[in-house]
Amino acid sequence: MSTIDILGLHKSFGKLPVLQGIDLAVEPGEVVCVIGPSGSGKSTLLRCVNLLETPTSGTIHVGGVEVTDPDCDIDAVRRRIGMVFQQFNLFGHLTVRENVTIAQRRVLKRSRAEANRIATLNLERVGLAEKAGAYPAQLSGGQQQRVAIARALAMDPQLMLFDEPTSALDPELVGEVLAVMRGLAAEGMTMLVVTHEMAFAREVASRVVFMDGGVVVEQGPPAEVFGNPREERTKTFLHRVLEPTRVSETEIGAHKPV
């Protein structure tokens, strides 16, 4: 059984179609990286998985449960899904340890001692055990994002969703977050990752999905998608992303305002 099974997914905002018939499955233990230009629907796809966005039509199953069923207990499903956003969304008035324990205690009803024990274990996983008593404002952006990952992991998710987790970081801080994600992949965590980090996708992904215009244009193993893409749209995107200094004047002119 697939961890995620998406069939015929459409999503429109008013008259604007954003997703136009997505079919996608993620198997247990897979790391699926979704790449593509801005505005292609990547983040909307991710947010539909746990109904942060309500699909216009289509079905989504997570762990065998249809989350698009109106009778679905979505809160119960969300307890099994960890999500890490572009922004860290930490509580500034709480310490790192308190940020990692609050949902455990309120949602999972764990005791303070148990929540603290699990928080320590997961802060160790992301290399921040020594920062447990610090406040978010005392941390770098990369450290704050690692705390956000620890907070998600502390809920014992079966699936992790990452929505461009490094896009808000200074370049020198990106590596520490990607290192944590590499570790999770090595542990066998099922992950659906929207990312602009092509090197990470090439190195860590089990499968790469290229989206453009609200559809899946191409997908396959990283070596195939990056090394020998089949679709012209994929080739053009990768050329612009991987070799930005070699974009032709013709391509630049195509984007100039008329």
Q: What is the pLDDT of residue 242?
A: 86
The model's pLDDT over 79-133, given as tens digits with 9 standing for 90+, comes to 999 999 988 899 999 999 999 999 999 999 999 999 999 999 999 999 999 999 9
Q: What is the pLDDT of residue 172?
A: 87
The model's pLDDT over 207-218, given as tens digits with 9 standing for 90+, comes to 999 999 999 999
- 12: number of CA atoms within 13 Å, CB side? 8
Mapping DSSP to helix (H, G, I), strand (E, B) and coil, where does residue 255 land? coil
In DSSP terms, 138 is beta-bridged to: none
How far is the CA of 101 from the CAs of 62, 80, 125, 237, in angstroms? 25, 16, 15, 41
Q: Taking the CB of residue 31, how many other CB atoms lie within 10 A of it?
A: 26
Rounded Cα distance between 200 and 122, Å, is 22
Residue 156 Cα to chain centre, angstroms: 17
Q: What is the pLDDT of residue 107?
A: 93
Rounded Cα distance between 156 and 101, Å, is 12
Rounded Cα distance between 242 and 7, Å, is 31
Q: What is the mean pLDDT of the chain?
A: 93
Q: What is the mean pLDDT of residues 150-155?
A: 96
Structure tokens at 181: 């994600």
pLDDT greater than 90 at residue 21:
yes
Contact 151, 83 (CB under 8 A): no
Three-class SS of 131-158: HCCCCHHHCCHHHHHHHHHHHHHCCCCC
pLDDT greater than 80 at residue 244:
no
Q: Comparing C-alpha atoms, which of 103, 134, 100 is closest to residue 117?
A: 100
Q: What is the pLDDT of residue 118?
A: 97
The alpha carbon dihedral of 130, 157, 163, 203 has a sign of positive
Q: What is the pLDDT of residue 256?
A: 47
Rounded Cα distance between 51 and 143, Å, is 28
With cut-offs at 50, 70 and 90, classify the pLDDT of residue 257.
very low
The model's pLDDT over 22-69, given as tens digits with 9 standing for 90+, comes to 999 999 999 999 999 999 999 999 999 999 999 999 999 999 999 999
Q: What is the pLDDT of residue 141?
A: 94
Residue type, 59: T
Q: What is the pLDDT of residue 245?
A: 67
Q: Taking the CB of residue 57, how many other CB atoms lie within 10 A of it?
A: 12
β-pairing, 190-194 vs 159-163, is: parallel
pLDDT greater than 90 at residue 184:
yes
With cut-offs at 50, 70 and 90, classify the pLDDT of residue 6.
very high
Structure tokens at 175: 């590596």
Q: Comparing C-alpha atoms, which of 29, 28, 18, 22 is closest to residue 8?
A: 22
With cut-offs at 50, 70 and 90, classify the pLDDT of residue 248.
low
Instruction: Judge residue 70's burial from the number of C-beta atoms within 10 Å of its C-beta, 0-12 exposed, 13-18 middle, 19 or more buried.
Output: exposed
With cut-offs at 50, 70 and 90, classify the pLDDT of residue 258.
very low
Over pLDDT 70: what percentage of the chain? 95
Rounded Cα distance between 165 and 145, Å, is 7
